[in-house]
Every structure is written in C-alpha cells, then in structure tokens.
Structure 1
Amino acid sequence: MEEILIISLVALGIVIGFIAGLLGIGGGFILVPVFNSLFRSMGIPLDISIKMAVGTSLFTVFLTSVVSAYKHYLRGNILWRCSLVLGIFGVVGSLIGLKISMEYLSGDLHKRLFGILLILISIYGIYTIKRKILRSIETTYSTIDYRKLFVIGISVGIVSSIFGIGGGIITIPILIYLLKFPIRIAIGISSGMMVLTSLIGIIGYMAVPCPTYRHLLNIGYVSIVVGLIVGFAAMISSRYGAVATYKVKSRTLKYILYSILMLIGIWETFVS
C-alpha cells in the first residue's frame, strides 16, 4: 500500500474512534461510503466494492466494539444477560441480512438503500437533539421484557449485516424509549451486543467467495489490511472520545455529524 493511503486510513480510524467514544456508536455508517469510494477508486466493480465495504466496516466495528464493551464493563454499565440475548438473536438477524445482501441486492440498490438509511438516521438524530430527548430520559427500568429484546435483536442484526453498521445508533434509542434503560446502561448493553453481531457478520462476509485482491489482503468480502489499519487507529483514539464526553459539550459535534450523514445519504441515494 502507498504511504499516503496508509496515512489516510490511520486518520480515518482516528476520526471514527473519537466519534465512537464520544457518541457511543460504532461509526459503520461513515466507514461504508468511505470504504466503497476507496475500493471503487481501485477499479473494483460496484457489486463487489459495496459488499466489501460492508464486510470491512463490520471488521472495524468489531475491533472498536471489543474495546468499548470492556470499558463499559469496568464501569459497570453492561447487563450481560441483555447483551447476550440481543447478541444471540442479533446473530440470527445477521444471517438473514447476509442472505438478503448477497442474493437479493445489486450493488446500485444496496448503495441507494444505505443512503436512505443515512438520511433517516440524520433526521432522527437532529430531532432528538432539538427535543433533547436523550438528555431528558433517565427513567429506571424495573423488569426486562425479553420478548422485546428478541424482536430488537433480530431487527438490528438484519440492518447491521446488510449495511455494515454495528447497530448501536439504532439499538441505543430503542433501549431507552422502549425498555426505559438509563442512557449509559443502554450504551453498555449495545456495546456488548455489537461484539457478537459484528463478529458473525464478519464470518459471513469472509465465507462468501469473492475475487482476491492481493493489495487488500481480502478474505471473502473483508479486507484484512484496511480493517486492521482503521480499526487499530480507532481503538486508540476511542478512549479520547470517551474522555471528551465528560469535558466537552457534544451538542455541536452531533449537529455536525448528522449534517454530514445527511449530505452523504443524499449523495449515495441521488447523485453518485
């Protein structure tokens, strides 16, 4: 790999890790379009590049999720039983999502659906900031409805596997609003779940036959070298993002993030 490309991937990992630590999300929704553009620039066809972007994003999300889950475990923010239930049923959803992605989505449709997802996430994110919903909800859960966890796990697993996101940006609000978990507990549970769902997603994308690109060191639809470079940089920078959550107001950063997501979503859906 060229030195400039390696430096760019390290910089991407630093940004993703900081955002992941700051906002408690995996960052896959940023990685997928960036990876897809990178692979397309290398001459890889869209039908292959978008799936490789998803698989490599899941690989990166897995690395950052392991670190995030460990940190939340040390702080006592993870209810492992909930994470395991979500993770196990999320695995089922991941397998369904993998089948949908590989057999029913063309490269162009896959890309446009991802763009639509980004637009919806950005609209929802801006709405929650304006209403200060996440800050206002600090209710305490009493009993855990595992039937709801079953539905949440499968749904998030499907979305995660198709679009290469860890699922935290979807899971966290659902756990807060539907099951009344405090914000930090919801983030911890989501982190534990993402370890399992992203891992199964990785295995699935690795197992599907794909042309070999030596400069990417890909196994199936996962580029090991790209995933490792971005993932390790993100693992290092995520701790600083986590520290920043206690020292810096993240409201402005969230506005910037969701605005960027909106622009990327519009580009992926209607322009590129």
Structure 2
Amino acid sequence: MDLALGNGELAWLVVALLAAGLMTGFLAGLLGIGGGGVLVPVLYETFTFLHVPDAIRMHMVLGTSFAVIVPTAIQSFRSHRAKGAVDETVLKRLVPYVVAGVLLGITLVSLVSSGGLKWVWIVCGGLLSIKMALGREDWRLANDVPDNWIVRAVAFLIGLISTLMSIGGGMFIVTMFTLCGWSILKAVATSSGFGPFIAIPGLLGYVWAGWGNPDLPPVSLGFVSVLGATLIIPMSVLAAPYGVRVAHGISRRKLELAFAAFLFVVSMRLLISTL
C-alpha cells in the first residue's frame, strides 16, 4: 500500500481535515448529530486518496469518525443542556436500549463488508432525507414520546444502525421525537445527549474489530486513524457551540431543510462510489 505523500499533497490533506473538523463541529451543534455524517464523505475521499484498500476503507472511515464524534458529541450536548433545551427524563429512559443496540452493532462490524456498510448509509440516509424535506406538520404519531415497548425497540434499532453508520444517532432520534410531537429544537437538543453513549462504545468496538489487520494505514488503532482524529477533533470541539447558537435562532423549516440536504448529499456520494 503506497501511502507516500509529497509536501504539497500533505499540506492540502491537513487543510482539508482541519476544515472538515470545523464543519463537523458546527453541524453537530446545529443538527444535534455527532458529526459522523459530515465526516463519512470527507474521510472516504481522504482514504481513497491514500489508497487504503477498499476492503477496509469504509471500516476505517466509520472507526475514525467515531473517534471524532466522542468529544464533539459531548460538547454539543453540554451546550444544548446549558440552554435548558434537553429533556433529561426521556434521555435517561431510552439510553439503556440505545446502548444495547450499539453492543450488537459492535459484534457485527467485523462481519459486514465495506460495500454492505455503504448500503446501510445509502438506504437509511436517503429515506430520512426525503422525510425531512417533505416536512409536513401533520406527520404525528403521538403528542409526546410514549413510554412503551415500541419506542424502546426503536431506540435499540437506532443504536444498532448508528453503530454501522458511525453516527451519534441524531438523524434517527430527531425524526422519532418530531413524529412524537416535539419541536425540532427540543428534538435536536435532546438527541445530542445520545451521542456520547453511542460513540464511546462504538469507538472501542471499531478498535477491537480492526486490531491486527495487516492492511491498516500507519498510525492506526484498529479501524481508527489516530492521525485523522488528532487533526479533526480540536476544530470540531471549537466549532460546536457556534452551531448550537445558530440552531437556537433559526426557524424550524430552515433547520429541517438543512438536515434533509445534509443527508441527501452524503447518501448520493456513497451511492456514486458503489457504481
């Protein structure tokens, strides 16, 4: 595997990763996501440029993304919580089921192919982007988040799929909460609290799943690029509070359209890469 870069190429790579960190943090605060959705296409292009083998490329993308999600998600949650927008009762009620889904996802990571992980992203991200773009106010399943087995099962499934997509779960949790009658701001704020509970075990799972793989790039821990994470994390933590500030001053519809556009772009880029 040829990973040698010239000085000019290395400089552009560093600039791209730093910019990705700023974008990741800002959108984490704005949309209540851990930032993984932003990093997936950026890291995919980066690892393609570095000639990381296709068989592990998507695994490296998702593992490194989780490394960035941990501090970014914590910062996003703290910022939303400081504004009093988080429903901690619902958060505490559903966290155990989300974590259980994450643990199952970790066991599947090493069994799912790189192509399979792409299709998880394409299908789930594409469907959610359509839902958010339509944005009809009358799409309601309840007036509040009920405490029943259906919601708990959905929380479990969110943890599972989020692990296979390397996201903080925000895109699914926001959708679930808005369908239950919550405002988009309350949904975004509360969803940010699930990020650390998905990202921390998810990160450890990708390190474990890739440990000892002979095709790993230099400076990696399992399926996690330490170099990529080191460049992106400080910028993402710095930018997250600015995204939160914008989220608390933007209309519901604009926030929904931003969320839909973000999902659509990521899904289409990965679809193109499979053709």
Same fold (TM over 0.5): yes
* Contact kept? 1:22, 1:250, Cα under 8 Å: no
Assess, with a 3 A threshold, how the Cα gap between structure 1 residues 181 and 119 changes in structure 2: closer, same or farther. Answer: closer
Measure how far apart 1:126 and its partner are: 0.8
Q: What letter matches 1:126 in structure 2?
A: A
1:269 aligned to which of 268, 271, 275:
271
Say whether 1:205 aligns with 2:206: yes
Partner residue in 2 for 1:78: 86
Distance in 2, matches of 1:54 and 1:188, equals 24
TM-score normalised by length of structure 2? 0.83
Partner residue in 2 for 1:175: 177
Q: How many residues align?
A: 262
Give unmatched runs, 5+ long, in structure 2: none
Distance in 2, matches of 1:98 and 1:133, equals 36
4+ residue stretches of structure 1 with deviation over 6 A? none
Assess, with a 3 A threshold, how the Cα gap between structure 1 residues 191 and 146 changes in structure 2: closer, same or farther. Answer: farther
Assess, with a 3 A threshold, how the Cα gap between structure 1 residues 100 and 146 changes in structure 2: closer, same or farther. Answer: same
Distance in 1, matches of 2:176 and 2:125, equals 17
Say whether 1:109 aligns with 2:116: yes
* Contact kept? 1:101, 1:162, Cα under 8 Å: yes
Distance in 2, matches of 1:231 and 1:181, equals 31
1:51 aligned to which of 52, 59, 68:
59
* Contact kept? 2:126, 2:264, Cα under 8 Å: yes
Measure how far apart 1:117 and its partner are: 2.3
* Contact kept? 2:43, 2:61, Cα under 8 Å: yes
For residues 4-43 of structure 1, the aligned pairs below 5 Å read: 4-43=12-51
Assess, with a 3 A threshold, how the Cα gap between structure 1 residues 271 and 133 changes in structure 2: closer, same or farther. Answer: farther
Moved more, 239-248 or 36-45: 239-248
Distance in 1, matches of 2:26 and 2:58, equals 24
3-state SS of 1:165 partner: coil
Measure how far apart 1:149 and its partner are: 4.2
Say whether 1:192 aligns with 2:196: no
Distance in 2, matches of 1:253 and 1:177, equals 16
* Contact kept? 2:33, 2:195, Cα under 8 Å: no
* Contact kept? 2:120, 2:164, Cα under 8 Å: no
Give unmatched runs, 5+ long, in structure 1: none
Q: What letter matches 2:229 in structure 1?
A: G
- When the two chains are superposed, the root-mean-square deviation of aligned CA atoms in Å is 2.7
For residues 112-261 of structure 1, the aligned pairs below 5 Å read: 112-128=119-135, 131=136, 141=144, 144-145=146-147, 147-178=149-180, 180-208=181-209, 209=211, 210-211=213-214, 212-214=216-218, 217-248=219-250, 251=253, 255=257, 258-259=260-261, 261=263
Measure how far apart 1:50 and its partner are: 0.3
* Contact kept? 1:85, 1:149, Cα under 8 Å: no
Distance in 1, matches of 2:76 and 2:261, equals 25
Assess, with a 3 A threshold, how the Cα gap between structure 1 residues 77 and 251 changes in structure 2: closer, same or farther. Answer: closer
3-state SS of 1:175 partner: helix
Distance in 1, matches of 2:27 and 2:138, equals 20
